[in-house]
Amino acid sequence: MLTLGIESSCDDTAAAVLKDTDTLLSSVLTSQDQIHTRFGGVVPELASRSHLEAIVPVVNEALNRADIRLQEIDLIAVTQGPGLIGSLLVGFSYAKALSCVTGIPLVGVDHMAGHILSVFLEETQPEFPFISLVVSGGTSSIYRADSFTSFSLLGRTRDDAAGEAFDKVAKLLGFPYPGGPIISREAESGDADAITFPRSWLEKESLDFSFSGLKTSVLNHCNREKQKNIPLQIADICASFQEACIEVLVEKTLLAATLENVNSVVLGGGVSSNPRLRHFMNQRCAEEDKKLYIPRPSHCTDNAAMIALAGIHFQNNDSSLSLGSDVYCRSSLT
């Protein structure tokens, strides 16, 4: 079975061809980082215009690299939501048109389901049930996964997503977008104990996140140092901020595993390519006797391979699309 995956929910245009559920024949992605970097974040209108230019060449390149003709494809899987509406519409409309002219069945995929299932693109795979922490520029959520199509939302951010907090802190320190990878690089030479930034635990046993206070706390620290004419210790600020953010992500994920009595933990989303998060989660899971599964970095960030894989599992789950189907901006996973 050959599945063509298409992803355009935010600022990456991606397509992939997956054979059955385990052989990735191609995975192509064009990033828009160069376009958005001077604005310090994703500009939705520019993102959708750029998807329009990229979608046809990216899909063709995925088919070429896989050495597959469109007529050989058995299923088209496309991200239906959540994301930026204009961006989603480009991939979604293109996939609908492809399906309409070829007669290939079309399935809509929730982007979050793609991130949760991306670990099944790897050789070492978890057993159900597992706890999934999905952390990206648009979300920070904890799910319980009971099967390939059954997920329960246990907690989510009440304000900024973790990646958004990394990007905003990077911006206030003068770094370009996306700031997450730059902060984590700077943090390597910094002291994580240099500045005590707040950990937002919220109510007892809450699995929700809140990162806007942490971001404001970094801003206040910088302003105080500037008023005293003290040069900013950039590496220390990055390391201390990163530690505050990651400690909360790790401890709440482990709390979810304990409360749900689940032994496996899975990471997904762009922030899970952060080396400190991977290391700290690994260490804490070992201490708590939990098994940890992390996809390779290119499967953590947005990609179309995870959409193709999720599409295969959801095709029998009433997720087939018609011409009248539409995109959505809030996740359908509750």
Contact positions vs ligand KG4 (CB under 6 A): 10, 136-138, 163, 166-167, 178-181, 184, 269-271, 273-274, 301-302
CA neighbours within 13 Å on the CB side: how many for 319? 25
Which of 69, 174 has the CB closer to ligand KG4? 174
Which of 12, 73 has the CB closer to ligand KG4? 12
Q: How far is the CB of 73 from ligand KG4 (least distance, A)?
A: 25
Which of 217, 301 has the CB closer to ligand KG4? 301
Q: How far is the CB of 57 from ligand KG4 (least distance, A)?
A: 20
Which of 82, 311 has the CB closer to ligand KG4? 82
Please give the Cα distance from 249 to 241 (Å, whole number): 13
Please give the Cα distance from 275 to 267 (Å, whole number): 12
- % helix / strand / coil in the chain, to the nearest 5? 45, 20, 35
Please give the Cα distance from 43 to 6 (Å, whole number): 21
Nearest 5°: the CA angle 27, 28, 31 is 135
Q: How far is the CB of 137 from ligand KG4 (least distance, A)?
A: 3
Please give the Cα distance from 181 to 329 (Å, whole number): 26
Q: How far is the CB of 99 from ligand KG4 (least distance, A)?
A: 25
Which of 58, 104 has the CB closer to ligand KG4? 58
Which of 273, 331 has the CB closer to ligand KG4? 273
Q: How far is the CB of 183 from ligand KG4 (least distance, A)?
A: 6
Q: How far is the CB of 105 from ligand KG4 (least distance, A)?
A: 27
Which of 5, 179 has the CB closer to ligand KG4? 179
For residue 75, the one-letter residue type is: L
Q: How far is the CB of 318 from ligand KG4 (least distance, A)?
A: 27
- Is the separation of the CB atoms in 118 and 306 below 8 Å? yes
Nearest 5°: the CA angle 146, 147, 149 is 115
Please state the φ and ψ torsions of residue 127, each to the nearest 5 degrees: -100, 155
Which of 184, 217 has the CB closer to ligand KG4? 184
Task: Round to the nearest angstrom and report the end-to-end CA distance of the chain.
Answer: 30
Place of tokens 């204009």: 86
- Is the separation of the CB atoms in 162 and 250 below 8 Å? no
- Is the separation of the CB atoms in 318 and 290 below 8 Å? no
DSSP one-letter code for 315: T
Q: How far is the CB of 14 from ligand KG4 (least distance, A)?
A: 10
